[in-house]
Structure 1
Amino acid sequence: MPDLFAGPGGIDCAARELGVRLTGFEWDADAVATRRAAGLPTVHGDVRDYGPEDAPGEDVLTGGPPCQTFSVTGNGAGRRALATVLAAVREAGARGRVAAAGELDERTALVLEPLRWALEAHSSGAPYRAILLEQVPAVLPVWEAYAEVLAGLGYSTACGVLNTEEFGVPQTRRRAVLLARRDGSVALPSPTHGGYRKGFTSGGWVSMGEVMPHREPFEVISNYGTGGDPRNRGRRRSCEPAFTVTGKIFRNRVVGLNEVEQPRFTPGEAGVLQSFPGDWPWSGRDIGQQIGNACPPALARPLLGALA
C-alpha cells in the first residue's frame, strides 16, 4: 500500500507487524534515513511528483499530510483557509480530479494530495480497496468532506477524533481519522485502554513509567506553558501518559520526585512515548521533529485492522 508523507515509519511499523505490504513516499532526507535504517521500502521524493502508477498492485492508500498549518502550534494558515480547502475537495469530487489550488499556500494544499491519488486510482479503473488518513483534529472537516466524495465512489466511510492513550500509546494526543473501504462496511476501532483524567494516578492507560522501567519515578516539566502563561509549565508524573510529543520533546525537563534533575529523554525514549519499538534506528537530523510528526504505531495497528 502507498503511504503518503510516510515520515520515519509510524504506519509502516504497524503494517509490517501485520504483514501488510507498504511503500512509503517521503521527501525529507532525515526521515528517509530513518526509514532505510529500519529496512522500510521507501520512495524518496515529493508525493506531488508521483501517483498510483508508482505503487502498482497496492490496494490500500494511507497518509498523514503535514499538519503545521492546521495545528494549534503552527502558523494557522490551514485553519484560516478551511473554507477554501473544503470547496476544493467538493470541486474535486464533482470533476473527478483535483484542480490546482492556487488560493492555498503550498503546505496547506498538501492536504489534497491523498484525494488526488484516490481519484486518479478510481479513474484508472483500479480504485483503492481501502483508505486510511490521519491528521490533527482541526482537519476533521476536511476528512468529512473527503468522506462525501468517497461515498459517491462506492466507499463506506467513518470519521472521527480519537484519543491515542485509549489505544495504548503512552501519551495524550488527539488525531482526526478517516477510514474508507469499498469491500464492506467500516467503523472506527473501539478503545482498548482507559482515557486519561488529570489528577488520577491510574486509569487503564499505559504510563511513561511502564515504557521506561529503567528510570526511577519522575516528573516531566513541559516545554509549553498552560493556561496561556508560558511560565506555568505543565507537569506529568511517570505514572501518567506523556504530554503530546512534539518536535520539541527534547526540551522537556525530567526531574525526580525530589526535584533533582534527571537526564532528558533520549531519542529511544521519545520514540517509545510515540509507541515505536525502543530499538527503532532513529537517523539523520531533527529526530525530535521526526518523532513528533509520526503517526503512533499503536494507533495505526487498530486503524489498519479496521480495514482488514
Structure 2
Amino acid sequence: MIEAVDLFCGAGGLTAGLRQAKIDVRAGYDIESACSFAYESNNGAVFVEADISKVDPAEIAGWYQRPGAYRLLAGCAPCQPFSTYNLGRDTTKDDKWPLMGAFADLIKAIRPELVTMENVPDVTKHSIYHDFLKTLANEGYHVAAGPVACVDYGLPQLRRRHVLLASRLGPIALIPPTHLMRPVTVRDAIGNLPPVGSGECHPDDPLHKAPKLNELNMRRIRASTPGGSWKDWPNELITGCHKRSSGRSYPSVYGRMEWNEPSPTMTTLCYGYGNGRFGHPEQDRAITLREAAMLQSFPRDYLFVEPGKPVHFRTVGRMIGNAVPARLGEVIGESFMRHVEEIMGQAEDRTPAAAALPA
C-alpha cells in the first residue's frame, strides 16, 4: 500500500519503525558506509552509499515499483546544524547545512504522495526550514508539523523531536499519544539484560559492552545515586570545572539513570559516563551499547557490526545516537497508514452505487 525510500537512513532506525507499521521500505541512502551492514542485515532493504545532494532523482524514483502504491519519501537530514550545541557559532558553512535543501529539490522532482522528516525542535528557528515548508506548500502538500515528546509514544527516553508529515492526498496528522498514562521506563527497556562490569563485554552479545572506568570515575559512580548528580559527591571527587560557577549548569553529567523513569536523550556519546546521565541505575558502570540501542527502541537482536568484527564504541555510538528511534518511526508509519486508509475509505464513499439491473 505504501512504498518508501529512506534518505539519510543511518543504521536504519526510521526504516525499522516504518517496517513495523507495514510500510514497504525499498532502499536507504546515506553517506556513512559504516551503516551499510546494520541497515541491510536488519531491514531487508538495500543500502546505497551516496551523497544525497548528488543523487539523480530518477534513481530514487526507480525504487517505487508497485502499481497503485503510495510513495513515501523520508528525509531526516542530520541535525547538527540545528542543534543547541551549535548555538553561538556560524553553521552556515557546515557541510550538512544544504542537505534539507537537497531533500526539497528531490521532492520537487519526484513529487511523492507522502513526505516525512524529523529533526531537533530548534530546526524551526532556521530560515532553511521555512524555505522547506514553502516548497511543500508550492507543491500542493498538506503539512502537519510540530514538537513531539517521544516518551508520550512509548519511547523509554526523554527525547523531544520536531516531526513533519506531508501529504498530497489530503489533511494529515500524527496519531494521538499512546503512553500518556504510563511512560516506558529504563527498567522496562533494559531491566532484563544480564549484568556486566566496567570494561566487560557479555560473551553472548558483543554489543552488551561497557567502557572501562578509571579508578577516579569508579569512585565517582559508587558515590552516585540514581537521579542524583555530582553535587552529591564528596568534595575531593568533584572536578575543577564543576566547582566554577560556569560548571554548575551541568548537573546531570556523571549521573546515574533511574529505574522507574525514562532515560535522558541518547547522544552519540551516550556510552560515556562523564557525558551525561549515562551511568547504569545500580551497576557501577556506564550503560552498554546494547542498552543505549534498546533505549533508542531498537530490537534487542538488532545487529550493528558484522559477527567477528571488532565493536568500536565511537562508531557504534554514533550510529545509535544519530538514529531516529525505531518507535518514533513506527508512530510515523502508523500515522501514514491510517491517513491512507482514511483517504481510500473516502474514495469508496464517493463511488456511485451500481445501478440496479433491469428485472
- d(CA) in 2 for partners of 1:70, 1:230: 24
Paired amino acid for 2:300: G
Alignment-derived partner of residue 96 in structure 1: none
* CA offset digits 1:35-69 (Å, max 9, x no partner): 13324321112112213311225321102111112
What do you get for the CA RMSD once the two structures are aligned? Answer: 2.8
- 299, 316, 339: which one aligns with 1:287: 316
Aligned residues: 268
Q: CA deviation at 1:146?
A: 2.4
CA contact (8 A) 1:140 1:159 kept: no
The whole-number CA distance in structure 2 between the counterparts of 1:57 and 1:36 is 16
Does residue 15 (structure 1) correspond to residue 18 (structure 2)? The answer is yes
Equivalent-residue separation in structure 2 for 1:250 and 1:168 (angstroms): 22
Which letter maps to 2:76? Answer: G
Larger Rg: 2
After TM superposition, the score normalised by the length of structure 1 is: 0.78
Segment of structure 1 superposing worse, 59-68 or 271-280: 59-68
Question: Would the aligned equivalents of 1:205 and 1:241 in 2 still touch at CA under 8 Å?
Answer: yes
Q: Which deviates more from structure 2 when the two are superposed, residues 283-292 or residues 62-71?
A: 283-292
Partner of 2:183: 205
**Greater shift after overlay, 261-270 or 112-121?**
261-270
Q: Distance in 2 between matches of 1:295 and 1:241?
A: 17
Distance 1:27 1:76, change over 3 A: farther
Q: CA deviation at 1:138?
A: 1.0
Of 123, 133, 147, which aligns to 1:161?
Answer: 147
The one-letter amino acid paired with 1:65 is: A
Over 3 Å counting, the alpha-carbon distance change for 1:227 and 1:182 in structure 2 is farther
Instruction: Please state if 1:219 is matched with 2:221.
Output: no
Q: What's the counterpart of residue 279 of structure 2?
A: 254
Q: Which residue of 2 aligns with 1:26?
A: 30
Question: Counterpart in 2 of 1:3?
Answer: 6
Is the 1:24–1:42 Cα contact (8 Å) retained in structure 2? yes
Q: Distance in 2 between matches of 1:113 and 1:295?
A: 19
- Say if 1:105 and 1:185 are closer, same or farther in 2 by CA, change over 3 A: same
Q: 1:129 is matched by which residue type in structure 2?
A: E
The structural deviation recorded for 1:305 is 2.0
2:340 is equivalent to residue 307 of structure 1: no
**Cα deviation per residue 1:185-214 (whole Å; 9 max; x = unaligned)?**
1113221112xxxxxxxx510001001132
Q: CA deviation at 1:254?
A: 2.9
**Cα drift, residue 168 of structure 1:** 0.6
1:263-295 CA distance string (max 9 Å, x none): 432222111100110110012641111111000
Distance 2:94 2:49 in 1: 23
- Alignment counterpart, residue 75 of structure 2, candidates 58, 63, 66: 63
Query: Is 2:271–2:317's contact at 8 Å kept on the other side of the alignment?
Result: yes
Unaligned residue ranges in structure 2 (runs of 5+): 65-70, 196-224, 231-241, 306-310, 338-359
Distance 1:222 1:165 in 2: 22
Specify whether residues 256 and 49 from structure 1 end up closer, same or farther in structure 2 by C-alpha distance, changes over 3 A only: closer
- Which of 90, 95, 99 is matched with 1:110 structurally? 99
Task: Provide the rounded CA distance (Å) in 2 between the counterparts of 1:128 and 1:204.
Answer: 37
Question: Take 1:144 and 1:293, find their aligned partners in 2: how far apart are those partners?
Answer: 23
Taking structure 1 as reference, are residues 221 and 293 closer, same or farther at Cα in structure 2, changes over 3 Å only? farther
Q: CA deviation at 1:227?
A: 5.5
Aligned to 1:183: 169
- Do structure 1's residue 37 and structure 2's residue 58 form an aligned pair? no
Matched, 1:172 2:158: yes
> Partners of 1:278 and 1:116 in 2: how far apart?
37
Does structure 2 conserve the Cα–Cα contact (< 8 Å) formed by 1:132 and 1:304? no
TM-score (norm 2): 0.67
Q: Distance in 2 between matches of 1:220 and 1:231?
A: 8
Q: 2: CA distance between counterparts of 1:254 and 1:220?
A: 10
Query: Comparing both structures, which one devotes a greater share of its residues to strand?
Result: 1
2:291 to 269, 293, 303: 269
Amino acid at match of 1:33: F
> Quick one: structure 1 residues 242 and 255, their matched pair in 2 at CA, closer, same or farther if it must change by over 3 Å?
closer
